[in-house]
Every structure is written in C-alpha cells, then in structure tokens.
C-alpha cells in the first residue's frame, strides 16, 4: 500500500496571491527513499509541510484535492498523533534544539518522554541511537553549546529515537561544513538501511544521486519530473526547470559531445570511475 497518496493537490498559503502547489499527484511507496530537488520557491518545503500534516492543521490556507496518509485523509488526522508517525528534521540546527534540556541525552529522550514511553525503554532506545549516530561522547554536553553540525546530529537522534516509519528531511546540510555534511549523510545512509520511508529535500545533488531510489523535480508548485534516480538525474532537461545537475552527469554529457561517449551518463563518482575505466 502507498504510504502517502497525493491526488490533484492544489494549495495556497493564507495571505498570499500565488499557489504554492498546483495539481500535484504522486504516490510515495512504503520503504522507499525519495529525493526532492528543484529551485527555491518551487514548492519543495510546502510539499513536506503537507505530508507532515502542518498543512492544513498548522498553516491554514486553501487546500484542494486529496492527501491520504496511511489510508486516512490528512484533514481527519490529529496533527499530534501524526507527529508520532512521521519524523521531521529540517534546515536550521538551532531551532530544533528544545532549549530546555541540560544534556544531549535528555534532549534526545524528550520525544519519548512526551509519548509516555516507560523509562527503561527510553534509556535503552536513547543509548542505542546515540551509539548508532556516533554521539556517545556528547551525551553529557549541554545541547545549547554545541556546534551547528553537532546540533544537527542531535536533532536527527531526537527524531530517530521516536522510531517513526517515515521521515521527512528538509535541507539538513545547508548550514553545515563539509565534515558536518558528511556526518549527516552517514546518518542518512544508516536510515536507508532501516527500511523507513524517507523523503529528502536537498540541493546537494551528488548526495541525492548517491542515496535516493526515486527523484522528484519541482518547479513553480508542480512536479515536473519524477522517476528512478538515474533516469531523472541524467536528463539534461531538469536544468531547464531550475534543478541542478551533478558535475558528474555534466561531465558525462560533455564526453558524449566530444565524441567520446560513455556507455551511459553517470550520476555518481563510483559509476563514472567504472564507466571511464570500461571505455579505456
């Protein structure tokens, strides 16, 4: 069964003129990893807000069409119950820290405390996630004094402990340095192995190429491309819709133009290495 089903969804934020989403139809299958790319203002974050239930429960505005999450219309979901099912990590590492917990361990545990999970289970789960995300050394630190990259890892840990079967990740690395970015993608790699449904909004196209099963390109509120990652990211037409193309794919096209075509257009580094070696 589709985890999330969007049918002819059109949405306008309150007090704005233009539509943020225009006639969007798409279905997200359980256990798959989706990447959403495209230019700013194209509707990527709005789509996340919708799936997460923030639209229409938090942001009012005008919503048409159907959004079905786990078989239930989004309008009938209680936003609070939905938060226990769909995890959400976003861009700003600073606003995601609660600001009320004195240690990272307690910060990570907060979601489970709110859900009323028995204490022993909380301790076990938090310990496990902190290990998994390699923040064991930070558990006694004050989360308000961490660097951006460390905070983002804590934000991930805080959501992952809640064990939601779906996770929306909206530009998690745009404010991080290369090392922090690496760490976050390390986490995303672990998540991919955990069989969750994942939706990642990201400008770093190489990361999308590396990890996602399917890619959606958004432009001016509509889905303009969608399909298997390789198919979408090797198509130069996505650039006309404001989406970035990987340096690797551009190289592939340039090779073809120079009369030295590779067997297919590569989208990841490893693929390019293999294709070039095969050609030699």
Partner 1 sequence: MAIEIKNASFQYPNGFLAIENISLTIHDGERVAIVGQNGAGKTTAVKMMNGLNKPTGGDVIIDGINTKERTTAAIARIVGYVFQNPDDQIFNQSVQAEIEYMPRYFKLPEKEIAERVNYAVELTNIERYLKTNPYDLPYPIRKFVAIAAVIASRPKYMILDEPTAGQDKHGLEQLSRLIDRLQADGVTLLTITHDMEFAVNNFHRVVAMAHKNIIADGTPQDVFWNEAVVAEAKIKKPLIGELAKQLDLDGKILFSDELVARL
Partner 2 sequence: MDTDFIDSFRRYQKTGNFWGDLNPLTKLNVCLALAFSALIMMDYRYGIPLCILVCIIAALSGKFIEFIKLFGRLSLIIIVFVTLIRQIGMRTGNVTPFINVFGWQWYLESFIKGWNTITFILGFSGSLLLFFTTTTMRDLMYSLEQIGVSHETSYIMLASMQNIVDLKQASVTILDSQKSRGIEVEGNILVRAKAFFPTLGPLLLGAIASTEEKVIAMDARAFSVHRKHTFLRELAPAGTGQKILIAAAWMVTLATLIYRVFLR
Which stretches of the chain bind partner 2, using CB under 8 A? Answer: 52, 54, 58, 79-81, 83-84, 87-90, 92, 94-96, 98-100, 102, 105-106, 109-120, 122-123, 127, 130-131, 136, 139-140, 144, 155, 158-159, 162
Spatial separation of the C-alpha atoms in residues 212 and 33, rounded to whole Å: 5
Nearer to partner 1, 37 or 166 (CB): 37
Closest CA to 134 of 190, 173, 86, 177: 190
Maximum pairwise Cα distance, the chain: 65
Q: Which of 7, 115, 239, 264 touches partner 1 (CB under 8 A)?
A: 239
Write the CA distances from 70 to 25, 88, 148, 160, 256, integer angstroms. 16, 17, 34, 20, 45
13 binds, among partner 1, partner 2, none (CB under 5 to 8 A by kind): none
Is the sign of the CA dihedral 128, 92, 229, 263 positive or negative?
negative
Measure the CA dihedral 41/43/44/48, to 10°. Answer: 130
Spatial separation of the C-alpha atoms in residues 5 and 27, rounded to whole Å: 4
Query: 28 and 35 in contact (C-beta within 8 Å)?
Result: no
51 binds, among partner 1, partner 2, none (CB under 5 to 8 A by kind): none
Number of residues that bind partner 1 (CB under 8 A): 38
Per DSSP, which regions of 103-182 are E strands? Answer: 166-170
Nearer to partner 1, 50 or 244 (CB): 244
250 binds, among partner 1, partner 2, none (CB under 5 to 8 A by kind): partner 1
Q: Pattern of binders to partner 1 over 189-218, x per CB under 8 A?
A: --------------x--x------------
148 binds partner 1 (CB under 8 A): yes
Tokens of 40: 């700013």
Least Å from the CB of residue 47 to partner 2: 15
Q: Which of 208, 248, 265, 267 touches partner 1 (CB under 8 A)?
A: 248
Chain residues binding partner 1 by CB under 8 A are 38-41, 91, 147-149, 171, 174-181, 203, 206, 239, 242-244, 246-248, 250-251, 254-255, 258, 260, 269, 272-273, 276-277, 279
């Amino acid at each position: 069964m589709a985890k999330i089903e969007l049918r002819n969804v059109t949405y306008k934020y309150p007090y704005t003129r233009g539509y943020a989403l225009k006639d969007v139809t798409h279905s997200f299958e359980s256990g798959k990893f989706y990447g959403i790319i495209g230019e700013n203002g194209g509707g990527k974050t709005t789509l996340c807000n919708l799936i997460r239930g923030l639209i229409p429960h938090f942001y009012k505005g005008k919503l048409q069409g159907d959004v079905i999450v786990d078989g239930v219309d989004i309008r009938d979901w209680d936003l609070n119950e939905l938060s226990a099912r769909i995890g959400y990590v976003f861009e700003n590492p600073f606003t995601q820290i609660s600001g009320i917990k004195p240690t990272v361990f307690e910060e990570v545990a907060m979601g489970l405390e709110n859900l009323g999970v028995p204490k022993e289970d909380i301790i076990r789960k938090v310990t496990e996630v902190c290990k998994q995300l390699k923040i064991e050394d930070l558990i006694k630190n004050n989360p308000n004094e961490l660097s951006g990259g460390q905070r983002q890892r804590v934000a991930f840990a805080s959501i992952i402990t809640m064990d939601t079967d779906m996770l929306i990740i909206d530009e998690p690395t745009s404010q991080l340095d290369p090392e922090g970015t690496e760490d976050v993608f390390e986490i995303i790699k672990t998540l991919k192995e955990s069989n969750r449904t994942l939706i990642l909004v990201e400008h770093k196209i190489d990361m999308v190429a590396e990890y996602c099963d399917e890619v959606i390109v958004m432009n001016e509120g509509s889905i303009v491309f969608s399909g298997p990652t390789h198919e979408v990211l090797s198509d130069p037409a996505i650039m006309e819709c404001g989406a970035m193309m990987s340096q690797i794919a551009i190289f592939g096209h340039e090779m073809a133009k120079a009369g030295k075509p590779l067997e297919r257009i590569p989208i990841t580094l490893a693929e390019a290495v293999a294709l070039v070696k095969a050609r030699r």
